[in-house]
Structure 1
Amino acid sequence: MTAGGDVGGHPVGPDVAEAAVPRPGPVRRFLLRRPGLVDAAVVTVFTGWALLLGLGADSMYWLHEVLGGPRVLLMQVTSAVLTLAGAVALVWRRRRPVLVAAVMTVLGVLSLALTGATNGFELGVALALYVVATTAPPRTLLAAAGASVLALLVGARVLPLARTVGAKSLGVDPDDADAFAAVTGSGPFGFATSPAWFAMAAPVVVLALLAVGLGTLVHARRQRVAALAEAARARAEEHAQRTRLAQASERAQIAREMHDVVAHSISVMVALGGGASAAFDWAPDRARAALDELVDTGRAALGDMRRILGVLHDDDGDGPAGDAPLEPQPGSLDLPRLVGRARTAGLAVRTSGLAVTGLDALDPALQLAVYRIVQESLTNTLRHAPVATDVEVDVRRRADAVEVVVTDRGGTAPATAGPGSRRGLVGMTERAAAFGGTVEAGPYGQGWRVRALLPWNEGDA
């Protein structure tokens, strides 16, 4: 993972994930924030269209001549009442789209029965079906659209007043039986050749198809946007999880480094302090030398700690991290100095392989692992066998691996430290595992032996 949040070379940060989701345009955002404005516009369009057809249609003038003014006035009032009911129903189309579609269909059939025309309810049904298409599953949409269209088409075919108004709209006198039958059809399947029925059916079918088609497209787009949003959320969560894992890994590495530095340095300092105290009266020069070495060890430990803690801060030169010297991690060239401190602390250490040719050319991370394994092994010896009679550090570079063996033969006095936390052993194991290696640690005679095998190849050198 890079600092920019790339995984596998592909950016997956929250900003990139959010950018992958299509954003609505300014007009759509304006309307989405104001659903009440959209509802008012829908109700206004339907009401205006329905009143225009219900109160000002040519059929009303013809009916006025045939039926008389009072009855036509009653039909106009009925049309207005039905329109008002439809307008109220449309306000609820977002919450109960299927129910509103059913109500608009019933009102449309009533309009056919009482006024002889749909009077704009085909538009009301289409508006309701659009919402059904954008929110309901396909099966529900098919049932709602089919039932609504079928009810209006059947009503236009079988209701007497609807047949009469349909014929009149084509200029046919309903009193002319032959002409009336010709335009309205006769027999059970007469609608197939009925121009009047087709004139009423066409707006119903066309508007329903447009509503269902447009609503289906909008529904598909919403699903696609939702899927993209979910994918973006998943990528953002994956990015956050990777970041958390990386931070946890860094914290674990810092904790491991701190353990190695602090445990070793304090063990050496305790041994030096004890030796200086014991030699203070009979060998003051040796006590003074031990104290000087103790101070040097403390300073070195403090420098290591500041360097390790520096990774917790931005490298901008400000604060404690900016004051810490930028020194390289310890490596194979530092092994003799490490062994020297252990000898000064009182351990009898014999070494072999520390000057192996090419060991210092290995990967710095591999060198650090070798250094820390030797350091932790000597630290454990200082803590648990401070008077070991023989400690041997053997570092060998094989053809395909680096082998580290640290052996103590046991001491003549009991250890001064209590049971360890085993964090050191865990840290050594983790360091070796990072290179595909292994660590074996256990009793060896009266003492203890640690053997680590770290694979390497020519590419590491």
Structure 2
Amino acid sequence: MDAVGSPTPAGSRAADPPRAAPRPPAPTQPADRLGAGAGMLAVVAVGVAQVVTDLTFSDAPAAARAVWWAAFAVYAVAFALDAELVPLRRQPPERVLVVVLVVAASVAWVANPSADWTPVLFVVTAAAATALLSPSGVVGLVTLQSLVTAVGAALDGRGTIGVPFTVAIYASFQAFAAIVVRTAMREAQAREEADAAHAALAAVHADLAAAHADLRATSALLGASSRDAERLRIARDLHDVVGHQLTALALELEIASHRVDGEAAEHVARARAVAKDLLRDVRTVVGELRGGAGGLEPTLREVLDLPGLTVALSVDPALRLDDARLVAIVRCVQEAGTNALRHAPGATRLAVRVRREGDDVEVDVHDDGPGALAWEPGHGLRGMQERVAALGGTLAVDPGPGRGFRVTARVPA
């Protein structure tokens, strides 16, 4: 209801911060977690494979194995930080972590090229860096890591066939990982754009519904004002024309009753009685026309034709309002209804009750939406408050978290 909190209203919108260059956003949070877990599993698998190799048939020098394990440890820690698997108050810059990953994997591979699973770390690095780098940056990274792969394979003595074969295998793995991540990012971007478009359409729909309700309220008030003016005109005409003529006729018949006798006097008396009855009926009709101004219920029914909301309207039939109170109540009910359309997602029912409570007229509007945990009055509620206060009344708001939003206005009758 024209409030800020949960649910969030369409209040003030902050401007988007400027960006240096548009690029696809990172995958959504579940995809981030899944990718981080898969990458960490691949890193652990490389470490487990090296443990098995060292314990069984590794013929690498101890110094080479020591350097490999040191570089691998640095890589594992850097990847855990980059994937935010280790919670820190202040995360290191992502680009620095990517550089550490590249250097650590390269050192491990060149120091101990007999560790066949080490280039898998290049694949993990390519996947992790894709969300950070531009497409040309990813190509450059894959190229650099492929050159390091070739250097390590050459140091391992894999020959003219083994070196290109090793490079081709791990370069293709890196490219595949980068393409998969890039595709996931584009899909996430498409989902975000679709969600944003849907939210924008919903906001436009709510604004149109609110504008429609405002137009109907204005039309209903104009119609009620026109009907009241027409009733008053008819009442004046009946009083000034017909009432005056009947009064004159009754006086003439009164005079005639004193100047005739016999059977004529009897007819004059009956005519005089009919004239008095007609005059009394005219006065009754004039009184009803003047007292019937302010057709609140039909006006509210026009205002509360709200799309998507079932409205339960209850108006005290004996209630009579002047123009100022009629306008204030109709506008308050209209604003509460349009607020339910805008700010109460999931609301399907709106209960409106207008009744007399002692010396006051009480207006209660309650929707069945989720309410609000925290809220601040917007322009709509402030306008309602001002209208009610101008008539010497009060406005109470119950955000009702979990039980719907309620607005209650009381104005002197």
CA drift of 1:229 comes to 1.4
Are the equivalent residues in 1 in contact too, given 2:109–2:115 (CA < 8 A)?
yes
Q: Secondary structure at the match of 1:92?
A: helix
CA drift of 1:301 comes to 4.7
Long gaps (5+) in structure 1: 1-27, 64-71, 157-161, 168-182, 184-193, 325-461
CA drift of 1:197 comes to 1.3
Aligned to 1:56: 53
Aligned to 1:82: 71
Indicate whether 1:293 and 2:285 are aligned: yes
Are the equivalent residues in 2 in contact too, given 1:98–1:144 (CA < 8 A)?
no
**Highest relative contact order (Cα 8 Å, sep 6+), 1 or 2?**
2
Are the equivalent residues in 2 in contact too, given 1:269–1:294 (CA < 8 A)?
yes
Indicate whether 1:139 and 2:136 are aligned: yes
Are the equivalent residues in 1 in contact too, given 2:127–2:181 (CA < 8 A)?
yes
Aligned to 1:14: none
Aligned to 1:126: 123
Aligned to 1:307: 298
CA drift of 1:268 comes to 4.6
Once residues 310 and 163 of structure 2 are traced to their aligned partners in structure 1, the CA distance between those partners, rounded to angstroms, is: 83
Please tell me the root mean square deviation across aligned C-alpha atoms, in Å. Answer: 4.3
1:163 to 154, 160, 165: 154
2:213 to 227, 247, 251: 247
Letter aligned with residue 77 of structure 1:
A
Once residues 46 and 76 of structure 1 are traced to their aligned partners in structure 2, the CA distance between those partners, rounded to angstroms, is: 17
CA drift of 1:86 comes to 0.9
Are the equivalent residues in 2 in contact too, given 1:46–1:124 (CA < 8 A)?
yes
Letter aligned with residue 113 of structure 2:
G
Once residues 312 and 99 of structure 2 are traced to their aligned partners in structure 1, the CA distance between those partners, rounded to angstroms, is: 71
Indicate whether 1:219 and 2:185 are aligned: yes
The correspondence of residues 187-336 of structure 1 with structure 2, limited to 5 A, is: 194-269=160-235, 285=276, 288=280, 290-298=282-290, 301=293, 305-312=296-303, 319-320=313-314
Closer, same or farther: CA 306–276 of 1 in aligned 2, 3 Å: farther
Aligned to 1:46: 43
Closer, same or farther: CA 274–146 of 1 in aligned 2, 3 Å: farther
Q: Which has the larger radius of gyration?
A: 1
1:32-56 Cα offsets, whole Å, 9 max, x none, are 2993x76455324312313423761
Closer, same or farther: CA 316–272 of 1 in aligned 2, 3 Å: farther
1:121-140 Cα offsets, whole Å, 9 max, x none, are 42222223223334543233
Long gaps (5+) in structure 2: 1-26, 85-92, 252-275, 319-413
Are the equivalent residues in 1 in contact too, given 2:113–2:155 (CA < 8 A)?
yes
Identity of aligned residues (%): 11
Please give the TM-score of this superposition, normalised by the length of structure 1.
0.45
Aligned to 1:425: none
Letter aligned with residue 213 of structure 2:
Q
Once residues 195 and 58 of structure 1 are traced to their aligned partners in structure 2, the CA distance between those partners, rounded to angstroms, is: 29
Are the equivalent residues in 2 in contact too, given 1:276–1:291 (CA < 8 A)?
no
CA drift of 1:225 comes to 1.3
Once residues 316 and 304 of structure 2 are traced to their aligned partners in structure 1, the CA distance between those partners, rounded to angstroms, is: 8
Aligned to 2:257: none
Are the equivalent residues in 1 in contact too, given 2:72–2:105 (CA < 8 A)?
no
Closer, same or farther: CA 130–301 of 1 in aligned 2, 3 Å: same
Shifted more, 237-246 versus 272-281: the winner is 272-281
Aligned to 2:81: 92
Once residues 58 and 200 of structure 1 are traced to their aligned partners in structure 2, the CA distance between those partners, rounded to angstroms, is: 24
The number of aligned residues is 255
CA drift of 1:211 comes to 0.7
Once residues 30 and 310 of structure 2 are traced to their aligned partners in structure 1, the CA distance between those partners, rounded to angstroms, is: 46
2:30 to 32, 45, 48: 32
Are the equivalent residues in 2 in contact too, given 1:112–1:118 (CA < 8 A)?
yes
